[in-house]
Amino acid sequence: MTKWSERETVNDTTQGVQLATMQALANYWASDYDWRKVEAKLNSYPNFISNIDGLDIHFIHVKSKEKNAMPIIVTHGWPGSVVEQLKIIDPLTNPTKYGGSTADAFDVVIPSLPGYGFSGKSTAPGWNPVRIAKAWGALMTRLGYAKYVAQGGDWGNAISEIMALQTPPGLLAISTNMAATVPTEIQTALVTGKPKPASLSAEESNAWDQLDFFYKKGLGYANEMALRPQTLYAIADSPVGLAAWMLDHDARSYDLIARVFAGGREGLTRDDVLDNITLYWLTNTAISSARLYWDTAQVSTGGFFDPRGVKLPVSVTVFPDEIYAAPRTWAEKAYPKLIYYERFDKGGHFAAWEQPEYFVGAMRDGFKSLRSLG
């Protein structure tokens, strides 16, 4: 029933998600995709609902059989969901089956953000990262964890960093795959249109170029959701509209997904992509998830990548096709207690989903020094 627009008038992505990509996605979604596979995968893990601060919060909770497993709470972002983390659950909880040792084991907690997936949808404003961070701390206490670590990218990083600022009882450290490290002078220069400083290193220059592109051409979705999320009725009404909105998150993720639906093999499969989109569609969370941007805009005056002054130990993983690849020099300034920094040669915004082996290795190595404290 989709009413298709005409093809874009250019031969690249400068006008947005291309018609050929969307039609290939829709054709596969309608004819070959099987939601029941990921439904079975989700149901193979223990799922729970807990009411925290007046809202039902869904989470997956998988305990390792190893007695000294380190508890970790892993938070997704937008346009993600718990689907992003399904590939890392078994390697983290059962490390000896996946090239690790018993000392690498984790207990894994993966919550759905408020308004996302199977979590509740708030009927009043206020569910911003500060409130979510408090809820996550309450959740880990409720689960009985006296010591634990937190990980996240995208919104998951913001929430994990704010948890580190709140220092809830038991939080030892955090890990991020989308670090907030951009120095104030760099941020100011970027947003005011000043030229790139000649003093930047190669890593810093690459980060500048990535951020410059993102700020100029890649923020449309975030701006709309931060300003007028309720206006997005079309993405709640049309599955193709929803899919296009979610695909146009960042240039490198879109390029990867376009190659996948053109027949290429990448870190994600066509089913991976549609598992996540279908979860949004079936739970009708297109607009409720978008409100996180609006709720955050009401209380935040800083940039998403501004250093927050985290004092707890931090582990940083850097993937080259992220919105920006945080240089080590910036990470060392942003996180005084940087305990781990690793750059990988492939992977992008959805790190645990795209490159689960790299991600799992980084969790094992990044938190290794804290095992004796757990």
Asked whether residue 13 is assigned to any structural domain, the reply reads no
Domain of 196: which CATH number? 3.40.50.1820
Could you tell me which residues come within 8 angstroms of residue 23 by beta carbon, excluding any fewer than 6 positions away?
A: 4
Instruction: Tell me if 61 is assigned to some domain.
Output: yes
Beta strands at 314-318 and 171-176: parallel, antiparallel or unpaired: parallel
Q: How many helices (H) and strands (E) does the chain have?
A: 16, 8
Question: 14 in a domain, yes or no?
Answer: no
Active-site position among 104, 116, 145, 154: 154
Predicted model pTM: 0.97
Whether the CB-CB separation of 312 and 172 falls below 8 Å is answered with: yes
The reported pLDDT for the residue numbered 374 is: 53
CA-closest candidate to residue 177, choices 343, 303, 293, 336: 343
Q: Looking at the domain assignment, is residue 352 inside a domain?
A: yes
Helices assigned H by DSSP within the chain: 19-31, 35-43, 86-93, 129-142, 155-166, 184-191, 202-217, 220-227, 233-237, 239-247, 251-261, 270-283, 286-297, 328-334, 351-354, 356-366
Query: Does residue 217 fall inside a structural domain?
Result: yes
Q: How many domains does the chain have?
A: 1
What is the pLDDT, as a whole number, of residue 373? 67
The answer to whether 349 is a known catalytic residue is: yes
Instruction: Tell me whether residue 104 is one of the annotated catalytic residues.
Output: no
Domain span at residue 291 reads 19-373
- Is 76 assigned a catalytic role? no
What pLDDT does 265 receive?
Answer: 87
60 SS3 class: strand
Q: For the chain, list residues with pLDDT below 50.
A: none
| Secondary structure (DSSP) of 129-177 | HHHHHHHHHHHHHHTT-SSEEEEESTHHHHHHHHHHHH--TTEEEEEES
The one catalytic residue in 293, 335, 340, 358 is 293
Do the domain assignments include residue 6?
no
The pLDDT value recorded for residue 22 is 98
pLDDT in the model for residue 61: 99
Catalytic residue among 58, 76, 249, 349: 349
C-alpha span between 307 and 154 (Å, rounded):
14
Residue 1 lies inside a defined structural domain of this protein: no
Q: Is residue 2 part of a domain?
A: no
